[in-house]
């Protein structure tokens, strides 16, 4: 959902391009000026495209002479700026202090620092021109002709802003992020464990688990701490699972056709376990032929489950595909489906390139492989299996610890990631991938406007209206740290193909964090860490986002429809009768799913066709594509014409 104010701001900033001005030229910003007192003008965040941090006075000071630095972004006045027209250029005015950004001493030297002073005293050293692209802007001092950036292209907190000779690099490029959409995070809620994995259950509660310890992993002790979180009461019930002999840290996950959750590999690399939400019990299923951890799994249209890759545990390489049979509980090798063939070369080592594969079940037992490698593939799970090349993900590169979510049948949004598992700059790029035409047909890839914040180790959650919330992550991913965290969430709209920022998290959600959709349409985010009792990055807690579609423009709660009656089961192409009150007009299905390590392959959304509506009575046509509408439990949401969703009813597709 794009806030109208954000759109107006962006349009004003970039409208001079439409006049025929070349993108390589600098232009006085008179045409893009914003009055600091204009009605509804809340200013903009200036987000560094490289480090993902915001411009603010040091310590968020309101004092004249305070140096400008880069700092972790929040929606605070000291980080908000207006571009104000002036003779010969424009001035950057801080919303909190009312002071203007100037080059200190009117210097023309490289690395001259930038500070805030009273605008009446800013003179020529406080005049800036702008060069804009579709995605970012560059500010150049009118006096010196040099560009605004961070000293030494640094990425650390409180790095000073300076001017230096203009270069075509992200360290001198800024995203102008307009006012965020209405949204809010609830209070932080303590959990008994660090929730490294999470799955929304059909009763609205959330299953989470960690490792043999509540707060750390390794060695393999064959047991796992789990917890059931109740969003209604804000309480969690802990359970230590020992009967399966399985430490379920760093596994693959699949939601099965009968509503159970399959967990494969991980710390106990050969084990596979199943959770039954009907009985709240765990039990072992057949062991893997190939031990693995950090593997990618997906449910299949046949009711089976596929796993590939996972050299984190069980030895390096050779992680061929395997298919789990629900009738026998055993695994069948796919000798012609090599995890190595689907992997990428990670600069940090061979154990990392075949991990966290983005796999999506499709028709006739096929699966689509979207990455993290730049090359995409189709996987046929029949017989010994086979791999069919599906082309590259546009101009995107290897994007480990980015993530992908299906926002409509056969259509994926891919966001973020980094060119190595960690210790590399993350990307803010986004792409849509359309594989809806199936195997052997061309896959369509389209580049989207980027996020405001580079992110790896983030999580993405699709909403009933087709928008996608992106939560947490780091601009420079490092495991078990809170550094370089993206605190502001973002939301992507399939209508505008762009992102709008949302409210800020209370806690960094980086490595080992999760995010899932709740049955009431809110988003739960939590975890991070699992690095020991004394680790500052340990976050045994969760928080819940109220997205924009649940709020009015003034922040009050929007009226929601209610599904009074819906069938408990349905099949492909069936016409179902649903009773929904409260101005319901559209419907969507979202599959129950499980998230861990920025991976949520079972997450998918599908629109539902309304055949007829008579008051509160609706006749809906279930999708007939078995490859998209995988068997299993789905959340059915009714929505108003503004996209405000009901609480979901669960329908089992079989």
Assess whether 478 and 509 both reside in one domain: yes
Q: pLDDT digit string (tens) for 78-132?
A: 999 999 999 999 999 999 999 999 999 999 999 999 999 999 999 999 999 999 9
Assess whether 49 and 162 both reside in one domain: yes
Q: pLDDT digit string (tens) for 52-63?
A: 999 999 999 999
Q: Which of 44, 164, 38, 32 is nearest to 86 (CA)?
A: 32
Q: Is 31 a domain residue? A: yes
Round the average pLDDT of the chain to a whole number and report it: 93
Count CB atoms within 10 A of the CB of residue 399.
27
Domain end marker among 550, 577, 609: 550
**Count of alpha carbons within 13 Å of 618, Cβ hemisphere only?**
26
The per-residue pLDDT for 440 is 87
Give me the mean pLDDT over the 55-74 stretch. 98
Domain end marker among 177, 194, 229: 177
Give me the mean pLDDT over the 525-529 stretch. 98
The per-residue pLDDT for 9 is 35
Assess whether 329 and 454 both reside in one domain: yes
CATH number at residue 326: 2.130.10.80
Assess whether 366 and 413 both reside in one domain: yes
Q: Tell me the C-alpha distance between 533 and 642, whole Å.
A: 46
The per-residue pLDDT for 39 is 28
What confidence tier does 350 reach under pLDDT thresholds 50, 70, 90?
confident
Tell me how many domains the chain contains. Answer: 3
Q: Is 243 a domain residue? A: yes
Give me the mean pLDDT over the 380-407 stretch. 97
Assess whether 485 and 530 both reside in one domain: yes
Domain end marker among 550, 579, 614: 550
Q: Which of 409, 400, 413 is nearest to 468 (CA)?
A: 413
Assess whether 158 and 246 both reside in one domain: no
Assess whether 331 and 198 both reside in one domain: yes
What percent of the chain is predicted at pLDDT more than 70?
Answer: 94
The per-residue pLDDT for 648 is 98
Q: pLDDT digit string (tens) for 188-217?
A: 999 999 999 999 999 999 999 999 999 999
Residue 167 has pLDDT above 70, yes or no: yes
Give me the mean pLDDT over the 157-178 stretch. 95
Q: Is 60 a domain residue? A: yes
| Domain span holding position 138 | 4-177
Q: pLDDT digit string (tens) for 446-478?
A: 999 999 999 999 999 999 999 999 999 999 999
**Count of alpha carbons within 13 Å of 267, Cβ hemisphere only?**
19
Give me the mean pLDDT over the 313-338 stretch. 97
**Cα dihedral sign, 207-213-218-219:** negative
Q: Is 555 a domain residue? A: no
Residue 367 has pLDDT above 60, yes or no: yes
CATH number at residue 571: 2.60.40.10
Residue 4 has pLDDT above 80, yes or no: no
Q: Is 557 a domain residue? A: no
511: annotated active-site residue:
yes
CATH number at residue 140: 2.80.10.50
The per-residue pLDDT for 357 is 98
Paired tokens of 158: 């409180």
The per-residue pLDDT for 436 is 96
Assess whether 639 and 504 both reside in one domain: no
Residue 17 has pLDDT above 60, yes or no: no
Contact 400, 414 (CB under 8 A): no
Assess whether 521 and 578 both reside in one domain: no
> Looking at 294, 421, 431, 511, which residue is catalytic?
511
Q: Is 453 a domain residue? A: yes
The per-residue pLDDT for 42 is 55
Residues in contact with 87: Cβ distance below 8 Å, sequence separation at least 6, in sequence order: none
Assess whether 162 and 117 both reside in one domain: yes
The per-residue pLDDT for 134 is 84
Assess whether 295 and 191 both reside in one domain: yes
Residue 250 has pLDDT above 80, yes or no: yes
Contact 47, 53 (CB under 8 A): yes
Query: What DSSP state is assigned to residue 60?
Result: G
Q: Is 135 a domain residue? A: yes
Q: Is 92 a domain residue? A: yes
Q: pLDDT digit string (tens) for 228-247?
A: 999 999 999 999 999 999 99
Assess whether 142 and 264 both reside in one domain: no
């Amino acid at each position: 959902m794009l806030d109208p104010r954000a759109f107006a701001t962006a349009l004003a900033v970039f409208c001079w391009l439409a006049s025929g001005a070349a993108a390589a030229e600098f232009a006085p910003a008179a045409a893009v000026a914003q009055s600091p007192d204009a009605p509804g003008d809340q200013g903009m965040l200036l987000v560094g495209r490289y480090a993902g941090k915001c411009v603010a006075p040091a310590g968020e000071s309101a004092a004249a002479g305070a140096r400008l630095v880069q700092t972790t972004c929040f929606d605070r006045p000291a980080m908000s700026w207006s571009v104000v027209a002036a003779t010969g250029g424009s001035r950057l005015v801080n919303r909190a202090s009312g002071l203007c950004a100037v080059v200190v001493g009117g210097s023309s030297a490289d690395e001259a620092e930038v500070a805030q002073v009273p605008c009446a005293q800013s003179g020529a050293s406080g005049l800036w021109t702008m060069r804009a692209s579709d995605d970012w802007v560059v500010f150049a001092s009118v006096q010196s002709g040099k560009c605004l950036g961070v000293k030494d292209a640094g990425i650390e907190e409180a790095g000073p802003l300076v001017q230096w000779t203009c270069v075509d690099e992200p360290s001198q490029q800024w995203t102008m992020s307009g006012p965020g959409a209405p949204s809010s995070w609830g209070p932080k809620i303590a959990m008994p464990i660090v929730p490294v994995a999470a799955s929304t259950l059909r009763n609205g509660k959330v299953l989470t688990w960690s490792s043999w310890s509540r707060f750390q992993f390794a060695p393999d002790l064959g047991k796992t701490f789990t917890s059931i979180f109740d969003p209604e009461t804000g309480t969690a019930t802990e359970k230590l699972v020992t009967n399966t002999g399985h430490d379920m840290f760093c596994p693959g996950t699949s939601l099965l056709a009968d509503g159970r959750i399959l967990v494969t590999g991980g710390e106990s690399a050969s084990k596979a376990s199943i959770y039954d939400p009907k009985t709240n019990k765990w039990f072992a299923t057949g062991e893997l032929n190939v031990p693995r951890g950090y593997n990618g799994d997906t449910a299949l249209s046949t009711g089976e489950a596929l796993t590939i890759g996972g050299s984190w545990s069980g030895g390096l390489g050779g992680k061929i595909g395997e298919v789990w049979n629900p009738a026998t509980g055993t695994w069948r090798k796919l000798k012609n489906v090599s995890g190595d063939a689907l992997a990428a070369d990670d600069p940090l080592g061979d154990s990392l390139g075949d991990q966290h594969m983005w796999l999506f079940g499709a028709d006739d037992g096929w699966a689509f492989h979207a990455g993290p490698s730049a090359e995409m593939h189709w996987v046929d799970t029949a017989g010994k299996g086979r791999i069919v090349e599906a082309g590259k993900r546009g101009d995107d590169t290897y994007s480990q610890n980015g993530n992908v979510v299906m926002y409509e049948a056969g259509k994926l949004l891919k966001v973020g990631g980094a060119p190595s598992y960690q210790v590399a700059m993350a990307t803010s790029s986004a792409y849509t991938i359309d594989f809806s035409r199936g195997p052997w047909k061309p896959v369509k890839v389209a580049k989207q406007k980027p996020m405001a914040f580079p992110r790896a180790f983030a999580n993405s959650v699709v909403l009933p209206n087709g928008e996608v919330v992106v939560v947490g992550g780091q601009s420079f991913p490092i495991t078990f740290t809170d550094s370089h965290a993206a605190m502001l969430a973002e939301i992507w709209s399939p209508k505008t193909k762009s992102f709008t920022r949302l409210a800020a998290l209370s806690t960094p959600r980086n490595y080992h964090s999760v995010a899932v959709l709740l049955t009431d349409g809110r988003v739960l985010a939590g975890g991070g860490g699992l690095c020991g009792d004394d680790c500052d990055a340990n976050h045994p807690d969760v928080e819940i986002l109220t997205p924009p579609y649940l709020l009015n423009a003034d922040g009050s709660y929007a009226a929601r429809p209610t599904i009074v009656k819906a069938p408990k089961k349905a099949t492909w192409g069936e016409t179902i009768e649903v009773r929904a009150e409260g101005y319901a007009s559209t419907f969507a299905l979202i599959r129950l799913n499980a998230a861990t390590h920025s991976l949520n392959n079972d997450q998918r959304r599908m629109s539902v066709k309304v055949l007829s509506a008579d008051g509160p009575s609706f006749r809906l046509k279930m999708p007939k594509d078995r490859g998209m509408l995988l068997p299993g439990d789905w959340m059915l949401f009714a929505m108003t014409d503004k996209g405000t969703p009901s609480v979901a009813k669960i329908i089992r597709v079989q």
